[in-house]
Amino acid sequence: METKEFEFKGFKMSGFVALFLILAIIVVDIIIFNQAAASTKPDLVFGLTIPISFLLILLLSIGMVKLEPNEARALVFFGKYCGTFRENGFWYLNPLFSKKKVSLRARNFDAEAIKVNDKSGNPILIGLVLVWRVKDVYKSLFEIDSQTMSAQGSLSSTMKAFESFVKVQADAALRQVAGNYNYDENSNPDVDDVTLRSGAEEINDELTATLNERLSIAGIEAVEARINYLAYAPEIAAVMLRRQQADAIIAAREKIVEGAVSMVKLALDHLKEEGVVELDEERKAAMVSNLLVVLCAEDNAQPVVNTGSLYN
């Protein structure tokens, strides 16, 4: 979006010069007052000096502006935008300017976890932490209704109005991004897609881009956005926990069976190579069965001594 902001190029003067002029006017007033007090005749100059001096001091005082690093002033002359003043220090500007102060410093926003549905429709709780700052002073003050929301007109109330706008847009962006992904791989195991749990960096980048798109109208930049809370909603948390436990048990069993089969094969190969004993297919099947029971069982195996022959 095209910006209408531009830097102020008009008259400016050091604020210390204006301060010196105020002190000089006060000294002149004191001298004139002492001379008028010593005189017995009314003096028209004395009568005009006091109101003129008061007016000059008032104009010089109103025009003083102090800007710290990462602060800016939007200068408005009777409703007309005259530019943004960003030069740090103590300055004197046209006293008829309306000087709207805006902070350009980075701010944190920690959004509370909200309930949304992921791509598969599962209700989840998700929250984010956002670092943002004002980038375009004109848009932040005149493209959104921030001045009405900040009824007091102070810097703190103006920034609170910005925070309110950021909060609403962050909520909408988080819902939009979260709805494009599954919570984890178990939500749709047949598709190898990025999920909210596995694709943190990619999702954070998309969330930042979505926020910048939404906040650009207000001249606000999302410096960084990250998901800081992710969990199933309470109504399905217990069921999903049991499913995760079942998946973990299945994965462990698969590993155990894989190891047991390799050990049985190794045992049979060694017996054959060393010529320890000749086993027919029926005995091999019995040996494989016994070894698999011993290796895969959860409890310790109880030995049974065969007092008969090999086949009895």
Say if CB 253 and CB 246 are below 8 A apart: no
**How would you class 183 by CB atoms within 10 Å of its CB: exposed for 0-12, middle for 13-18, buried for 19 or more?**
buried
37 against 254, higher pLDDT = 254
Rounded to the nearest 5°, which phi and psi values hold at 117? -105, 130
CA distance 242 to 273: 46
CB 227 within 8 A of CB 204: yes
Nearest to 85 by CA among 96, 99, 95, 104: 99
3-state helix, strand, coil in the chain (%, to 5): 50, 20, 30
Mean pLDDT across 126-149: 86
Question: CB of 116 within 8 A of CB of 175?
Answer: yes
pLDDT at residue number 43: 60
For Cα atoms 144, 147, 150, give the angle at the middle one, nearest 5 degrees: 120
Collapsing DSSP states into helix, strand and coil, what is residue 122?
coil
Return the top range by mean pLDDT from 18-32, 145-159, 286-300: 18-32
Question: pLDDT, tens digit, for every residue of 168-226?
Answer: 999 999 999 998 888 887 655 555 678 888 888 899 999 999 999 999 999 999 999 99
- Amino acid found at 137: V
Residue range 238-254: average pLDDT? 74
In this prediction, residue 143 carries a pLDDT of 87
